[in-house]
Amino acid sequence: MEIQASNAGIFGGKNHAFFKDYFQVVEQFIAGNQEQIKSLSPSQLVNFNAVVEQYIFCCLSTDQGIKVNYLLDTVYDPSFFESFANFHHLPNDISFMHALGDYKKNGWVCDQLAHRLRLDYPEYFARVMDLFEKDGMESFEKTVPEASTGLPRTIQRFNSNYLSKPETEQFYRTDQILSGICEKEGISLDREKSTISELKEDLGRKLTDVVTLRVLDDVYEFEQEKLRLIELLQQSSSDLEDGFPAIQSANQVLKNKRWQEMAEIKLAPNCKSILSEWDWSQNSVLFTRIKINPIENNLLLPPHFFQTILLWDRHHQGVIEYLLGPIGSYLLSVLREEDYTQMSELIKKVSTFFELVDEKLVK
């Protein structure tokens, strides 16, 4: 049976009697299912909220024969979900965006949403900030340049927490590969008394498979480099504060229809990347859902070229690992060579390098 639902990204109307009925139905439904609701897991609770907000609304409006006008196509297209947080398409290519579902948990989306609200609707931004202040919640304003001491402390706390983690957590991917190799080859290692580095060296002496050893070296070097870059993150923490005026300037440029002719791009000084022969990136990817990347599968895959960028997420006090594609890797190499690069020139370079006739594919 097909399930129909109405997402309330934009919600309103003048049929007050219907909204009153809707509220009463939801209220009774929740009151009558308290025990079941309390037993739900966090992921189940997300689906429950969708039932209350979307499914019941759709069922009730259908039963009462009330016409609902939708802003977007009523047919759900999974690929369309990916475009909901494309802030750079505002306001020319799209007129609506919505931090849908998992986007609310993405610190980069939260940042951009705050910046856009401040730029386009300053009065509403001020009202939101007033609510934060009244409720005694930590304000977004505490992490912008006017109160810049908050950001370095956050990074320092993250560094301290991350560097104090057990080695098996810092090198959890290496640990998984070690376990996978030992299970496959029937090798026993004294995992309790040895460090990850010692286990790696011990296994290296027992293995004759060159490719397997190469995978093991690759994952260890990836995590070792990530550890080194996180240690350096604190030293460049002041650079992260420059992101606020940069985002504001970018949003101002994007409001102009000729923004691609006007915009210039500069690589952030805190942009760090890791090269590897296998894909070890594990965290959520930028602007999309959690990336499922079974680490042990790399033991069965041939080597290739992978480049992973480390991005600081101040909202969740963590580092996002963002795997670059071919175009992203080329862009990074170009931006590293020059201080500022015009967007129009960058598009031409990418089109020429990848032999793309239609520059719209790059845009």
Amino acid identity, residue 19? F
Nearest-5° Cα angle at 277, 275 to 283: 65
Q: How confident is the model over 242-267, as a mean pLDDT?
A: 68
Determine contact, residues 107/316, Cβ cutoff 8 Å. yes
The residue-averaged pLDDT of 135-151 equals 45
At residue 187, the pLDDT reads 86
Q: How confident is the model at residue 94 (pLDDT cuts 50, 70, 90)?
A: confident
Answer with the residue of higher pLDDT: 204 or 189: 204
For position 186, what pLDDT does the model report?
A: 87
Which has the higher per-residue pLDDT, 238 or 71?
Answer: 71
Indicate the range of 255-264, 267-276, 284-293, 313-322 predicted with least confidence: 284-293
Q: Tokens 């992973």 label which residue?
A: 308
Confidence band for 143, pLDDT divided at 50, 70 and 90: very low
Give 150-164 as a 3 state SS string: HHHHHHHHHHHHHHC
pLDDT at 308 over 70: yes
CB 264 within 8 A of CB 175: no
d(CA 124, CA 116): 11
Q: Mean of the pLDDT values across residues 207-228?
A: 94
**With the CA atoms of 237, 242, 244 and 248 taken in that order, what torsion angle do they form, in degrees rounded to the nearest 10?**
-160
Q: What DSSP element (H or E) covers 321?
A: strand 318-324
Of all residues in the chain, what percent carry a pLDDT higher than 70? 77
Q: Nearest to residue 110, comparing CAs of 80, 142, 79, 140?
A: 140
Give the Cα separation of 35 and 13 in Å (integer): 33
SS3 276: strand
User: Within a 13 Å sphere around the CA of 351, how many CA atoms are in the beta-carbon half?
Assistant: 14
Query: DSSP label at 80?
Result: H
Among 289, 320, 256, CA closest to 84: 289
**Per-residue confidence (pLDDT) for residue 144, from 0 to 100:** 40
* Percent above pLDDT 90 for the chain: 26
| DSSP H helical ranges for the chain | 16-31, 34-38, 42-50, 56-63, 78-81, 107-120, 122-134, 150-163, 167-170, 172-185, 196-206, 210-233, 237-241, 243-254, 259-262, 326-337, 343-353
Cα(350)–Cα(359) distance, integer angstroms: 9
Q: How confident is the model at residue 251 (pLDDT cuts 50, 70, 90)?
A: low
pLDDT at 63: 94
DSSP state of 288: S
Q: Following DSSP, what letter does each residue of 17-49 receive, concatenated?
A: HHHHHHHHHHHHHHHTTHHHHHT--HHHHHHHH
Distances (CA, A) of 3 to 44, 56, 82: 17, 11, 21
Least confident span in 30-34, 121-125, 283-287: 283-287
Cα(243)–Cα(235) distance, rounded to whole angstroms? 16
pLDDT for 359: 57
| pLDDT surpasses 80 at 195 | yes
Q: Sorting pLDDT into bands at 50, 70 and 90, what band is 141? A: very low
Q: What is the mean pLDDT of the chain?
A: 79
Q: Which helix (H) or strand (E) holds 311?
A: strand 306-313
- Residue-wise pLDDT tens digits, 320-357: 888 898 888 988 888 888 778 888 888 888 888 887 65
Q: In whole angstroms, what is the distance from residue 104 CA to residue 113 CA?
A: 10
